[in-house]
Amino acid sequence: MGVLTDWFRAADAESVVAALIRSEGGSPLGGPGAGFAGVEAKQVDPTVLLGQLVAAVRRIPWQVDLVATRTVWPTGPAPGPDGPAEEDDPWLTGPWVEEVDGAVRDVLADVPDHEIAAVAARWARAEEWHGATGEELRPLVEDLVRLARQARAEGERLYCWICL
């Protein structure tokens, strides 16, 4: 099963939730009622692959806690210790949206253009990329860096929409 992820920028979680309500949880990139600026980045989840990108930028080993997030969708209380009560519980079925810590946005925004190829080459070493090359990942790094720069310039946060 593939994981779809769209990275986007928004002023705040409230505007994200409002757009997701209008679009019935659909992608925030150009869907009905949404239209946030962002990047389609299949499988770039906040914890592992974005965390590995942050590690590549900072030239440190990846750790599970490199990217702090907060769930903004679905709304409502998370399931208890026994899991979701219903099969169609949105906490089980998704989609999910995570707000990323502003420090991560700034790490990406601070990548100089002349370093993007080297960062992409380091990021390509992550086993989750299954042999992708830095040259193949370079456009994605460029897009994510540009998105982070735009978010910082506008005083916005980065968000990740995740769907199975």
pLDDT of residue 31: 59
pLDDT of residue 1: 53
* Model confidence at 85: pLDDT above 80: no
* Model confidence at 88: pLDDT above 70: no
pLDDT of residue 161: 95
Give the sheet arrangement for strand 38-40, strand by strand: 38-40, 4-10, 157-163, 96-100, 69-73
pLDDT of residue 79: 66
pLDDT of residue 87: 65
Percent of the chain with pLDDT over 70: 88
- Chain centroid to CA 137: 16
pLDDT of residue 39: 94
Mean pLDDT of 14-27: 87
Cis amide leading into 84 (omega within 30): no
Measuring CA to CA, which residue among 103, 84, 90, 83 is closest to residue 152? 103
Return the H-helix or E-strand segment holding 9. Answer: strand 4-10
pLDDT of residue 94: 77
Residue spans of the domains in the chain: they are 4-163
In this predicted model, which residue has the larger pLDDT, 35 or 34? 35
Confidence label for 28 from pLDDT (cuts 50, 70 and 90)? confident
Mean pLDDT of 95-119: 97
Mean pLDDT of 70-74: 92
**Whole-model pTM over 0.85:** yes
